[in-house]
Amino acid sequence: MAVPVAILGRKVGMTQVFSPDGRVTPVTAIEAGPCVVGQVKIRERDGYTAVQMGFGTKKKSRARKPEVGHWKKVNVEPPRFVRELRLPAEDLKPYTPGQQVQPDIFKVGDFVDVIGTSKGRGYQGVVRKYGHHGHPHSHGTHEYERHPGAIGCEADPGRVIKGMKLPGHMGDVRVTVRNLEVMRVALPENLLYVKGAVPGAPNAYLYVRTARTRKPRPPEPPKPAAEKADKGAKPATKPAAKPAEKKPAAKA
């Protein structure tokens, strides 16, 4: 099994890529890295094993002194976005503090999970938040088309059941989109193009990791060499059969 990898990034926006046969695929461009490894955590000292990475930069005036001292050990300014990748102890060997992680850890055809914060929609009703149909718009209905309807019960239990779908705050929550295919890796620009949409608005911070619920695509078997026939060549024809020679009749 391949070692899981991860990288931090920022959502740039959506675009489209064309395949050699002309098919168009909607993709999301992610500015992935470069990320700096701030610390490699081990079980004996920290109680668990993980790799701490940081992305972006933060004003020094907005960073706390312990944070400044922590990242000063690897000679970098405190990053804006910090996350950890949990790994077993035997998979921590490739990582060292101060190391830079580039988007080339992923290859075209890999599948990744993208984690981010969805767009905040504010206070919304049940029609938009949960997709309720609303009340019938028939004669006699006044100001009730988008209401949730009855929410209570009879005397028993005499209360509103927990988990009732009611109006409330929508969005601005952690969302994981699984099994997105990597369509292109642009190393000079540190861009990672993944198929489909990812959570968050443009410039939102993202955490991209190896897909956990999908196995890597198996390699394709080699295709047999096809015999190319000349288009201008005429199909071969069988030679015409020679007429049978008549044998002279035997003399009596």
Strands (E), the chain: 6-18, 24-32, 35-41, 50-55, 81-86, 100-101, 111-117, 122-124, 168-170, 174-186, 191-195, 205-210
- What are the start and end residues of each CATH 2.40.30.10 domain in the chain? 6-121+172-210
pLDDT string in tens for the chain (252-residue length): 467 889 999 999 999 999 888 899 999 999 998 999 999 999 999 999 999 999 988 888 899 999 999 999 998 889 999 999 998 888 888 889 988 999 989 999 899 999 999 999 999 999 999 999 988 888 888 888 899 888 888 888 888 889 999 999 999 999 999 999 999 999 888 999 999 999 999 999 999 999 988 766 666 677 666 555 555 555 556 666 666 666 666 665
Q: Does domain 6-121+172-210 have CATH number 2.40.30.10?
A: yes
State the amino acid at position 38 in one-letter form.
G
> 175, 196 in Cβ contact below 8 A?
no
Taking CA atoms, 42 is separated from 7, 114, 212, in Å, by: 20, 26, 23
> 33, 55 in Cβ contact below 8 A?
yes
Pairing of strands 100-101, 35-41: antiparallel
